[in-house]
């Protein structure tokens, strides 16, 4: 009988911006022990993908890993698989970026391992029909997709084997379907169950090719897997089981499978794996989708209907999370500036650092959210912002003394925003609310606006049960990451306004601090989310933005004016705020809110000062109220930066952390997203204007 071919591929990845200890733990618990064991079984030939961020960390942190892989490539045991070097979602970036990232990966794999990578790992298996045409210039021969992609194209075979050819405008690409059954068996079930499944495929389809491709982190990093895979010897047993079945089973790298003819031609719709397409839906739609799938399953129609029922597609994360969209559009804007100054990313062998920074900022993990923290992890977003700001700073240095005021629709929502650059900082304003949504320091490469809103997620409304490693038998394996859950523990709170700054609030005099963090304050004014008329001008190395709006506070007509003044290379904005009533003010208070982040909620080197006094609880996670403040600041001694506010006349200040409840591989967790401060004063007791002057400054403490 002709042997069944098991095309075996492992994908190892850590995102740009992950903690150093996470990389180190990954090497210790997963990447190195896996490759050491595989090296002891040279007849098990396989494909290996390592993402660029992980490759770069291993250059200094795990040189032995490189040595082992280099030797295995030389012996023919390992085929290196390419991809976008910094693991971007390919369809959402310009063609030139995609081609450059794929070529960069090929160049780096050749220089480190002597490998010629002609296949590619498609980040999160996000497929777009334009990819064959896009990837032809990068000379990619094949990629790997989930069976769901093929189901949506009309193929309903229970266990899809072989590979297919797809094309766009005559540009062809081979595509392998990944066996979902194998993804859920390996490594969570005993090796015998995998062998049993493979034997059933071999009996029905002698000589066929079946593909396994999945995250290498399953072999030691996912919860419970290190003990299962290494301490309890799952991987040695699995490799021996594969070797013992070599009379009917051969394990091969993906490139070898191309020696056999394709199954035929196929055209695939936009898709990713099933879970990803569900996560990309709006929260309320996810609940409707799950309810519909539950009804279909109860009628015994799940398998029959699944090819025709699907979720959304990846791009909708840019709608679901405006924070992701802003990062994406700012990367595109920064890339345009880089290309204007130094040209396109053509010299792959000597890629300029600004282009590397742009490509690092395209790493997908901080742009979306599903099972892992993703966009909810502030350090992943920080890495995206840091890299794109570094790229901006590198190419704007020659014009750093000039003020720039640009009005454009940077986030592509159909409305123009206003971006002010003073040479050392950038400030972005929206005409809705005359609010500030962008605060960047170019020298520090720091995005102080990098906060995350509190919004509904579908899992907030589902009953959860504890998950983890099963222990009812010695042979029980760890739960799949998709089965791990936990308890939310408290009712989530959702935002009523975006996490911008200079947002106006008018509220009753008996309002308490707690009413704002728990979204129960009474809003007396209508200045958010109304449109403000705007005008801008630059003169004498300075710039002025002026916003005006007529609104109501309770039933009192009020005219609001906000003026934002900037000076070249000052790193600050001076805000002159004036609200003039047409009749006597109602009883109440006016507050102006700021949202910002110094990333760490409890670190002793991140702290508040109020009129140069450090409170007993000065953490960024602290909740507190201080009266009659003229000067306060939030300092980050680790990054050597600070934000400072000067307030005239002195005002009261409330502060609180911004904490989201999100899902991660460990269940549910509260995550610090930033800090909120409200500068507030009583409304005048007579019919006179309310005036406030606030100077908000970025301070570089290192010099």
DSSP 16-35: TT--HHHHHHHIIIIIHHHH
Q: Please give the Cα distance from 696 to 644 (Å, whole number).
A: 6
DSSP 577-630: EEEEESSPPPS-EEEEEEEE--S-SS-TTEEEEETTB--SS-STT--EEEEEEE
- Which positions ≥6 away from 491 have C-beta within 8 Å? none
Asked if 324 and 375 count as a contact pair (C-beta separation under 8 A), the reply is yes
Q: Please give the Cα distance from 11 to 21 (Å, whole number).
A: 20
Bridge-based pairing of strands 249-252 and 4-12 is: parallel
Q: Is 353 exposed, middle or buried (0-12, 13-18, 19+ CB in 10 A)?
A: exposed
Q: Please give the Cα distance from 151 to 146 (Å, whole number).
A: 9
Q: Please give the Cα distance from 453 to 323 (Å, whole number).
A: 8
Identify the H or E element spanning 336. Answer: helix 322-342
Residue given tokens 């005008």 in the structure block: 535
- Enzyme catalytic residues: 124, 215
At how many degrees (to 10) do helices 52-61 and 95-113 cross? Answer: 30
User: How many CB atoms are located within 10 Å of the residue 498 CB?
Assistant: 19
- Among 677, 679, 667, 688, which residue's Cα sits nearest to residue 628? 679
Q: φ and ψ at 499, to 5 degrees?
A: -85, 60
Identify the H or E element spanning 106. Answer: helix 95-113
What's the longest Cα–Cα distance across the chain?
A: 96
Exposure b/e, 591-612, CB count within 10 A at least 16 = b: bbbbbbbbbbbeeeebbbbbee
Q: Measured on CA atoms in the order 470, 472, 477, 482, is the torsion positive or negative?
A: negative
Q: Please give the Cα distance from 467 to 675 (Å, whole number).
A: 32
Q: Please give the Cα distance from 307 to 175 (Å, whole number).
A: 18
Residue given tokens 């050749």 in the structure block: 110
Q: How many residues are recorded in the chain?
A: 703
Q: Please give the Cα distance from 597 to 446 (Å, whole number).
A: 10
3-state DSSP assignment of residue 116: coil
Question: In what side-by-side order are the strands of the sheet with 425-430?
Answer: 404-408, 417-421, 425-430, 435-441, 446-447
Residue given tokens 């029909």 in the structure block: 129
User: End-to-end distance of the chain based on CA atoms, in angstroms?
Assistant: 74
Cα→Cα distances 347→11, 133, 355, Å? 27, 22, 10
Q: State both tokens at 446.
A: 């720091």
Residue given tokens 């579908």 in the structure block: 458
Q: Please give the Cα distance from 580 to 500 (Å, whole number).
A: 24
User: How many CB atoms are located within 10 Å of the residue 38 CB?
Assistant: 23
* Ranges of H-type helices in 186-280: 191-204, 225-226, 234-244, 254-257, 274-279
- Among 588, 434, 580, which residue's Cα sits nearest to residue 524? 588
């Amino acid at each position: 009988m002709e042997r069944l071919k098991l095309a075996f591929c492992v994908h190892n990845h850590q995102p740009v911006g992950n903690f150093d200890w996470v990389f180190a733990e990954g090497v210790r618990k997963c990447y190195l022990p896996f490759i050491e064991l595989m090296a002891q079984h040279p007849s098990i030939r396989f494909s290996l993908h390592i993402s660029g961020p992980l490759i770069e960390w291993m250059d200094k942190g795990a040189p032995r890993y490189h040595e082992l892989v280099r030797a295995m490539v030389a012996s023919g045991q390992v085929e290196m698989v390419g991809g976008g070097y910094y693991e971007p979602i390919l369809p959402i970036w310009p063609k030139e970026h995609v081609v450059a990232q794929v070529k960069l990966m090929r160049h780096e794999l050749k220089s480190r391992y002597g490998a010629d990578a002609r296949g590619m790992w498609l980040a999160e298996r996000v497929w777009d029909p334009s990819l064959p045409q896009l990837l032809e210039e990068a000379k990619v021969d094949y990629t790997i997709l989930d069976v769901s992609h093929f189901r949506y194209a009309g193929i309903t075979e229970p266990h899809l084997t072989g590979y297919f050819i797809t094309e766009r405008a005559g540009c062809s690409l081979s595509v392998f379907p990944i066996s979902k059954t194998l993804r859920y068996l390996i490594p969570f079930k005993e090796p015998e169950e995998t062998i049993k499944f493979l034997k059933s495929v071999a009996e029905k389809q002698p000589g066929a090719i079946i593909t396994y491709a999945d995250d290498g982190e399953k072999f030691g990093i996912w919860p419970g897997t290190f003990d299962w895979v290494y301490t309890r010897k799952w991987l040695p047993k699995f490799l021996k089981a594969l070797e013992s079945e070599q009379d009917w089973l051969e394990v091969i790298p993906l490139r070898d499978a191309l020696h056999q003819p394709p199954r035929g031609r196929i055209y695939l719709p936009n898709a990713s794996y099933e879970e990803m397409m569900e996560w990309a839906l709006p929260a309320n739609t996810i609940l409707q989708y799950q309810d519909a799938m539950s009804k279909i399953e109860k009628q015994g129609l799940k398998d029959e209907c699944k090819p025709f029922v699907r979720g959304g597609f990846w791009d909708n994360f840019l709608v679901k999370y405006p924070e992701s969209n802003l990062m994406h559009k700012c990367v595109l804007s920064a890339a345009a500036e880089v290309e204007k100054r130094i040209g396109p990313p053509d010299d792959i062998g000597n890629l300029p650092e600004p282009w590397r920074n742009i490509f690092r900022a395209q790493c997908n993990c901080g742009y979306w959210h599903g099972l892992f923290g993703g966009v909810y992890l502030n350090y992943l977003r920080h890495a995206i912002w840091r890299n794109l700001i570094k790229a901006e700073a590198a190419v704007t240095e020659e014009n750093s003394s000039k003020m720039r005021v640009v009005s454009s629709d940077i986030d592509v929502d159909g409305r123009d925003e206003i971006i002010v650059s003073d040479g050392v900082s950038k400030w972005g304003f929206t005409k809705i609310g005359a609010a500030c949504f962008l605060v960047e320091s170019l020298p520090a490469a720091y995005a102080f606006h990098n906060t995350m809103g509190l919004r509904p997620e579908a899992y907030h409304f589902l009953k959860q049960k504890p998950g983890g490693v099963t222990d009812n038998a010695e042979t029980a394996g760890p739960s799949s990451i998709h089965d791990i859950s936990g308890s939310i523990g408290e009712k989530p709170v959702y935002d009523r306004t975006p996490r911008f700054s200079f947002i106006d609030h008018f509220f009753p005099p008996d309002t308490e601090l707690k009413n704002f963090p728990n979204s129960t304050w009474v809003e007396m004014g209508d200045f958010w989310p109304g449109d403000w008329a705007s005008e801008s001008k630059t003169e004498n190395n300075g710039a002025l933005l002026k916003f005006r709006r007529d609104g109501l506070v309770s039933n009192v007509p009020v005219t609001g004016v906000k003026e934002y003044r900037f000076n070249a290379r000052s790193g600050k904005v001076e805000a002159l705020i004036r609200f003039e009533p047409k009749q006597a003010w109602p009883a109440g208070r006016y507050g102006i809110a700021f949202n910002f982040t110094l990333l760490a909620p409890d670190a002793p080197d991140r702290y508040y000062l109020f009129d140069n006094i450090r409170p007993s609880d000065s953490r960024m996670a602290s909740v507190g109220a201080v009266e009659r403040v003229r000067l306060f600041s939030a300092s980050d001694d680790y990054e050597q930066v600070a934000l400072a506010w000067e307030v005239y006349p002195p005002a009261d200040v409330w502060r609180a952390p911004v904490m989201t409840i999100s899902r991660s591989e460990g269940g549910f967790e509260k995550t610090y997203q930033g800090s909120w401060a409200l500068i507030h004063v009583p409304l005048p007791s007579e019919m006179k204007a309310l005036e406030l002057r606030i100077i908000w400054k970025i301070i570089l403490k290192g010099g």
